[in-house]
Chains A and B, each alone.
Chain A
Amino acid sequence: MMMRGVLVFSAGGLRLGVAIADVSRLVVEGDIAPVPFGHPGLAGIMKVDDVDVAIVPVFDLNCLAPEAQRPPRQKPGATVAVIPTARGPVGLRLDRLLGTASDYDAADTEPTAIPDALRRTLAGAGRPRTASVAVGAEVFFFFSPEAFIAAVGL
């Protein structure tokens, strides 16, 4: 059993989880400024008022497939998980925030029928043991911020 807190959410059509310690904050998506010649999965940049004002790129996992449409520039009210990485902050637009799991078991499950670009952002799977109601006990896949950075070529 793993005792590491996990934030569980849906994005890109998958149930995903990321270590709570890896998320600096959750924000409600505000005004997004589109960026010319940006990555196809980049909706734009958003200002996040933290201790200092930070500029955060907001990515949408639904748009990692090669044939995918560009993400909607604005998705007002969506939850964005701000994840610090070695290259700078990454904002991940969540389709739905499900809740948290305080412990889980490793699961030997592979996602099926998803684009390779999305698969490359994943690092294993877990099955919640103790979790908030909306999370339930279904398997989730770990979203790896560093793998994401590599997958989108940042």
Chain B
Amino acid sequence: MQRYFGVDAGPFRLALPLASVRQILDVGAGDAVLDPRALGVMPHSLAELLGEAPTSTRPAVLLFDGTDDPVVLTCCRLRGVIDSAPPRPLPETVVCAWPGLLQGTLDVDGGLVLVLDARVLMGLVEARAS
């Protein structure tokens, strides 16, 4: 068994290795307005990083260890911890233009969840920021 943290980002159902999520800064939802200045680091929308629009106006906020600096990502919904067998690899006919980003799929409650490689995701954040 491996442990993942499940999130929704725009239309994507995603999971990240649990150890890669350093801290949940905000669970999202509710009426309070998120002030990015309180985070100290400019947050990046995970949905926008992946090329889609976010679907939540009150996102959850997660802290990651970036390659050099902390990275703060917002996501539309937290799904919580997923205990699962290792991801099933994707067939070669599923091509992602960002190599290495997709590790495979988990079967969660009958639906497919894409597992992201956290290290590659941090590279994507840095590439988008630069």
Contacts and interface: CB of A to CB of B under 8 A. Distances in A.
Interface residues of A, number: 26
Where chain B touches its partner, the secondary structure class is loop
Contacts of B102: 35-36
Given A37-B96, A38-B95, A73-B11, A55 B88 contact: yes
Nearest to A33: B112
B12 A36 contact: yes
Given A36-B101, A38-B96, A55 B11 contact: no
A153 B94 CA distance: 11
A87 B95 CA distance: 11
A45 B112 contact: yes
Given A36-B12, A36-B52, A73-B11, A57 B112 contact: no
Contact of A34 (B12, B90, B97, B101): B12
A128 B112 CA distance: 40
Nearest to B94: A57
Contacts of B30: none
B75 to A, nearest CB: 13
Contacts of A53: 88, 107
B105 A45 contact: yes
B31 interface: no
B44 interface: no
A45 to B, nearest CB: 6
Given A37-B50, A55-B105, A73-B11, A47 B112 contact: yes
A40 B97 CA distance: 11
